[in-house]
């Protein structure tokens, strides 16, 4: 019953029928209460996005897999301290972190979100060293700005690590088979074992009408009871566990077609009548549903092809008579790790193995149940007879023959593993280096690396989104729009980078495209923060800042760890001149991602407007340290330095900003302002004349030129430039400033300053 319920649960999970899986697993836990079954039930709830249910089920459990699943539940519920305590029990400081690389990755996330950067980096690196294919760990290192070159992370050492893992799994299966055969041989001569099997066999005889016995026993008919009193021949019916033979590359022992081959076993029966009785017993389990030839073919496939897909519980109970501890291991053993948690989303978790020892997996139920059960039952009977009737030396010979075949055939497999690993890691080297450079804001270098990708990978949605983000950081909004449009065409279902794409359209003032994008994203996934960020940008472009703020707050509510949503909330608060809440939003973003330079920049802008120039300079400098190639950040850092009377430092920073992006008019305008304050009016006019070519419709350029001409008492030119500035429709505040300057056109600057 336990096996049937377990297989039903896994069958439901494989077909995404979570409600059925939860219902059947609750029946399983009620009938067979064990921590392993509780793990399976918690896994069902986690896959159904019910972390709170898994939390209450696993609270107080001690097994490694239970602690890992409990930590995932806590992480999804934002109980980070409880999650950390589950992975690293305070009362067991030397306890091993469960599930290897996956456990280290989860612990790294916990440390990252609790502002322990150094510990987070250490565990992400440990996860990568254990599993070089854990891309999400490398992504986190890139986001933290601590990633090594991709060529060193995904290099030859990683190839050897992957090969070592494959060889370790292979040889572990060989050792498992050897242990099973040795333990079976040792127990064949144990009188106590014989008596226990006799009593069990008597119980099994009562189940002869059941078509299939899932416990790996030989279903003996009436004649079996006639020789049940003989102790020397009971080993003939002992059924060793076929799990190791299935899961290793070694074929199982040959089927016993002629029982006369092993004289020692038959002689132990003593008389011809006993021998005929044994022959009748051997024939008793033969089913008449399938002919013998087809049966052998099916059983061969079961032992070779579908072996790794058998239920671990089925395997564990199959060896119940030969290994008393085997069933306990199947019911209470640790489980394999749930591998990748995905871009920082933890609600889609695949539980491929919940109660299996390493190397085993669950049953495949995609074949005809009747034929599978009959063939499997018969093949197990034959395997039982063959193994139990042979001597220990024949067991060893079988193992050696199988091992020779396995090792001989593994040479080509090893070459395939090395070649496959090299190809995968070669691809990851390009992708990893491009992502690392983009996180370091070395945008042009990142583009050059991405262009090295094969077209089939470059044209995927993820890569094109990364290219769009790089162009966005380069302030090349047209190219960014093109890259994101291609990404949408390649993966219309993906939301990767769509929040940035909506900001690109906001800067391009493409209100129609932005509105269409927002509607599409909402219809695709209304529970994704990217969708609400796009909707908020749409309203912000229409100057409806209050509605935009509500949409950004909805994005934060859906994912509090989405840093960009916090930053966009801060921008809207600033637009509404609610600086206090703006500061809180920017600080919330920095708690999620301390390298989110947009929030440092936002805080600097607030303090600049509040004329807190020292605070402003500090926050702009923090943003500059994270992104030393942003022309905008350098411009405002120079402005803060100028306000602090550090004009020379400000001029140097403006020169860097101009070199970083010659198309950006802001640093040239700020440079002209600094020159005016230093009374270097001719140089300021020269800079502004050059700036007019880049920004011919910027009203502030003409207003500043009018101010310079006024100070040089060139009133006609001053009036001309003030008029041009008004014609370009500046903001209301700028209009008031320009009109005030026109009214005081003939008032000397000295008198105007006194006024």
- Identify the burial level of 422 via C-beta atoms within 10 angstroms of its C-beta, where 0-12 means exposed, 13-18 middle and 19 or more buried: middle
CATH number corresponding to 495-594: 1.25.40.10
Domain boundaries, the chain: 1-173, 495-594, 697-754
Q: Looking at residue 574, what is its pLDDT?
A: 96
pTM score > 0.75 for this model?
Answer: no
Judge residue 16's burial from the number of C-beta atoms within 10 Å of its C-beta, 0-12 exposed, 13-18 middle, 19 or more buried.
Answer: exposed
Give 511-565 pLDDT, tens digit per residue.
999 999 999 999 999 999 999 999 999 999 999 999 999 999 999 999 999 999 9
Supply the pLDDT for residue 410. 54
pLDDT (tens digit, 9 = 90+) per residue, 379-419? 434 434 343 434 444 444 444 454 444 444 555 677 888 88
The 10s digit of each residue's pLDDT in 258-316 is: 444 444 443 443 444 444 433 433 333 333 334 444 434 434 433 334 333 333 333 33
**3-class SS at 135?**
helix
Query: For residue 325, what pLDDT is reported?
Result: 41
Q: What is the pLDDT of residue 412?
A: 64
Paired tokens of 211: 């078509």
How confident is the model over 446-473, as a mean pLDDT?
A: 95
Q: Which comes out higher in pLDDT, residue 138 or 748?
A: 138
In the three-class reduction of DSSP (H, G, I as helix; E, B as strand; rest coil), residue 342 is classed as coil
Please give the pLDDT value at position 320: 39
Tell me which of 102-106, 203-207, 450-454 is least confident. Answer: 203-207
| Dist. CA 622–CA 638, nearest whole Å | 13
Would you say 439 and 470 are in contact if contact means Cβ atoms under 8 Å apart? no
Which of 119-123, 341-345, 691-695 bottoms out in mean pLDDT, i.e. has the lowest? 341-345
Average pLDDT, the chain: 76
Q: What is the pLDDT of residues 474-496, one digit of tens each?
A: 999 999 999 999 999 999 999 99
Comparison of pLDDT for 458 and 421, the residue scoring more: 458
How much is the pLDDT for 234? 35
Exposed e or buried b for every residue in 166-191, given b needs 16+ CB within 10 A? beeebebbbebbbebbebbbebbeee
Considering the domain 1-173 in this protein, what is its CATH number? 1.25.40.10
Distance CA 740, CA 744 (A): 6
Q: For 577-581, which contacts have Cβ atoms below 8 Å and span 24 or more sequence positions?
A: 579/606, 579/609, 579/610
CB 730 within 8 A of CB 699: yes
| Residues 216 and 239: beta-carbon distance below 8 Å | yes
pLDDT band at 48 (very low <50, low <70, confident <90, very high): very high
- pLDDT tens digits, one per residue of 572-604: 999 999 999 999 999 999 999 999 999 999 999
Mean pLDDT of 101-117: 94
Question: 1-173 with 495-594: one CATH topology?
Answer: yes
């Amino acid at each position: 019953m336990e096996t049937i319920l377990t297989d039903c649960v896994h069958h439901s999970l494989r077909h995404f029928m979570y409600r059925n899986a939860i219902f059947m697993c609750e029946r399983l836990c009620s009938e067979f209460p064990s921590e392993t079954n509780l793990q399976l039930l918690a896994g069902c709830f986690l896959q159904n996005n019910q972390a709170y249910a898994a939390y209450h089920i696993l609270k107080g459990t001690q097994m490694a897999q239970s602690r890992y699943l409990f930590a995932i539940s806590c992480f999804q519920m934002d109980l980070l301290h409880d999650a950390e305590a589950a992975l690293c029990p305070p009362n067991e400081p030397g306890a091993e972190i469960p599930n290897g690389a996956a456990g280290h990755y989860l612990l790294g996330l916990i440390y990252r979100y609790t502002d322990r950067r150094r510990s987070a980096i250490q565990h992400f690196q440990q996860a990568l060293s254990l599993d070089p294919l854990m891309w999400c760990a490398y992504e986190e290192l890139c986001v933290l700005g601590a990633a090594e070159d991709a060529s060193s992370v995904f290099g030859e050492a990683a190839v050897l690590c992957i090969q070592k893992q494959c060889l370790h799994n292979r040889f572990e299966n060989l050792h498992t088979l050897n242990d099973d055969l040795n333990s079976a041989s040792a127990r064949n001569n144990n009188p106590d074992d014989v008596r226990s099997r006799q009593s069990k066999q008597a119980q099994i005889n009562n189940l002869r009408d059941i078509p299939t016995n899932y416990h790996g026993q030989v279903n003996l008919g009436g004649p079996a009871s006639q020789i049940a009193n003989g102790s020397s021949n009971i080993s003939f019916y002992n059924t060793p566990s076929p799990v190791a033979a299935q899961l290793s590359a070694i074929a199982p022992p040959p089927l016993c077609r002629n029982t006369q081959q092993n004289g020692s076993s038959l002689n132990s029966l003593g008389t011809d009548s006993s021998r005929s009785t044994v022959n009748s017993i051997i024939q008793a389990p033969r089913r008449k549903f399938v002919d013998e030839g087809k049966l052998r073919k099916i059983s061969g496939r079961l032992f070779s092809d579908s072996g790794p897909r058998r239920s671990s519980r089925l395997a564990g109970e199959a060896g119940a008579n030969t290994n008393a501890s085997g069933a306990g291991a199947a019911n209470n053993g640790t489980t394999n790790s749930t591998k990748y948690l995905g871009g920082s989303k933890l609600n889609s978790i695949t539980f491929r193995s919940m109660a299996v020892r390493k190397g085993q997996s669950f049953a495949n139920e995609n074949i005809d149940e009747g034929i599978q059960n009959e063939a499997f039952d018969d093949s197990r009977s034959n395997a039982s007879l063959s193994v139990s009737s042979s001597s220990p030396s024949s067991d060893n010979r079988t193992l050696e023959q199988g091992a020779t075949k396995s090792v001989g055939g593994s040479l080509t497999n090893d070459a395939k593993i090395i070649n496959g690993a090299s190809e995968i890691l070669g691809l990851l080297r390009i992708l990893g280096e491009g992502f690392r450079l983009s996180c370091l804001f070395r945008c042009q270098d990142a583009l050059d690396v991405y262009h090295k990708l094969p077209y089939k990978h470059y044209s995927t949605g993820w890569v094109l989104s990364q290219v769009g983000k790089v162009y966005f950081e380069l302030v090349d909004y047209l190219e960014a729009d093109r890259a994101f449009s291609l990404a949408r065409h390649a993966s219309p279902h993906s939301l990767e980078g769509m929040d940035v794409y909506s900001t690109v359209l906001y800067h391009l003032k493409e209100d129609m495209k932005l509105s269409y994008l927002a509607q599409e994203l909402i219809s695709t996934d209304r529970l994704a923060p990217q969708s609400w960020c796009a909707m908020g940008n749409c309203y912000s472009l229409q100057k409806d800042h209050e509605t935009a703020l509500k949409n950004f707050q909805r994005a934060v509510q859906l994912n509090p760890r989405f840093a960009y949503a916090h930053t966009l909330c801060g921008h809207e608060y600033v637009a509404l001149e609610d600086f206090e809440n703006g500061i809180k939003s920017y600080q919330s973003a920095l708690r999620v991602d301390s390298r989110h330079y947009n929030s440092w920049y936002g805080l600097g802008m607030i303090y600049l407007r509040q004329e807190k120039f020292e605070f402003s300079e500090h926050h702009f400098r923090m943003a500059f340290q994270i992104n030393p190639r942003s022309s905008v950040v350098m411009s405002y850092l120079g402005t803060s330095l100028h306000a602090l009377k550090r004009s020379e430092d400000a001029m140097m920073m403006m020169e860097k900003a101009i070199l970083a992006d010659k198309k950006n008019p802001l640093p040239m305008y700020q440079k002209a302002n600094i020159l005016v304050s230093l009374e270097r009016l001719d140089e300021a006019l020269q800079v502004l004349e050059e700036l007019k070519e880049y920004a011919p419709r910027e009203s502030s350029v003409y207003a500043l030129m009018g101010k310079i001409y006024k100070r040089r008492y060139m009133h006609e030119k001053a009036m001309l430039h003030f008029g041009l500035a008004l014609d370009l429709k500046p903001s209301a505040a700028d209009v008031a400033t320009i009109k005030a300057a026109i009214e005081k056109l003939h008032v000397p600057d000295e008198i105007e300053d006194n006024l």
